[in-house]
Structure 1
Amino acid sequence: MEESIFERPLEDQLCFEVYRAASDFGKMYNRALKEFHLTFPQYLVLLVLWDDNQIVIKHIGERLGMGIGTLNPILNRLEKQGWLTKEPSLLDKRATIVSLSEKAVTSKKAIHFAILSEVKACNLEGIDSSFLMKQLKLLNSAMSQADTGSV
């Protein structure tokens, strides 16, 4: 990229489009999750647990790119609402194992149906989701490398 990118109007700035897309995506998910009393970040935690139930808190944070200070309040709210349970690890007394509750297991399909309904309502036809996913993974990888100073 060259300096001329800064001469573009707001609507032609990559940072602005990424910001808007992330914001609108969050709003869409929040609409879909409202009936379940879940936030988008709480749903992301559930996604990790649906992939890999009974996982150490540290690993949830690593998968989501969230620090413990951000993750703990989310986990506490999910536990209080009956979506998950936490218990000390038998292998490492410093670690806590997080597991899905029965509510989370049985609600998975309904949650995904509500999200699918919102996605359909947004009329995302014409968007090549596979291509977009590849591009976002490349973008995130490049940003992560820059963040760690490996560029």
Structure 2
Amino acid sequence: MTERDDLLKLDNQLCFAIVTAARNVVAIYRPVLEPLGLTHPQYLVMLALWEESPRTLGDLASALALEPATASPLVKRLEAQGYVRRERRADDERRLAIGLTEEGAALRRLALEVPEQIMARTGLDVERLTAIRDALAPFAGSVDA
């Protein structure tokens, strides 16, 4: 095999490393988020709403690098759990505002322990996690095809 052939080895593929890492990250978060009653995608929605609430579905989906059709079921499940509410906007009745309920806002206090638990489970400190996150920046967020 030549050096060029090595480029096609599975273990040499960036895409494989990222997909495997993403699956493993979700598995690491699962037991930490379970006591909060959240899945990993729901946790991301809540993070976005803890930063800014209320938000339109389009704004929320954009912040999460998702299509609105993907974000909508997440919001509906969070609404059923009592963490968010969807209301027609006063300035434009055609648009929904997604905001936190009191329970959703209160959940943030419990979620403050999530980063520490993730660091404990991975053995990585804030600086190392930040470096990994920053190294992934070229591949994160929305991509225009």
TM range (shorter): 0.7 to 0.9
Quick check: 118-127 or 57-66, which moved more? 118-127
3-state SS in 2 of match to 1:66: coil
Letter in 1 for 2:118: E
- The residue aligned with 1:128 is 128
1:129–1:122 Cα change, 3 Å = closer
For 1:62 and 1:126, how far apart are their aligned partners in 2?
26
Q: State the Cα deviation string for residues 8-38 of structure 1 (Å, max 9, x = none).
A: 4322221111011111111112221111221
Aligned residues: 143
For 2:95 and 2:119, how far apart are their aligned partners in 1?
37
For 2:140 and 2:7, how far apart are their aligned partners in 1?
24
**Unaligned segments of structure 2, at least 5 residues:** none
1:17–1:5 Cα change, 3 Å = farther
> Deviation of residue 125 (structure 1)?
5.0
- 1:85-124 equivalences under 5 Å are 85-124=85-124
- The residue aligned with 2:20 is 20
> Deviation of residue 61 (structure 1)?
0.7
* Structure with greater helix percent: 1
**Unaligned segments of structure 1, at least 5 residues:** none
For 1:128 and 1:110, how far apart are their aligned partners in 2?
24
Percent of paired sites with the same residue: 25
- The residue aligned with 2:46 is 46
Letter in 1 for 2:97: I
TM-score by length of 2: 0.86
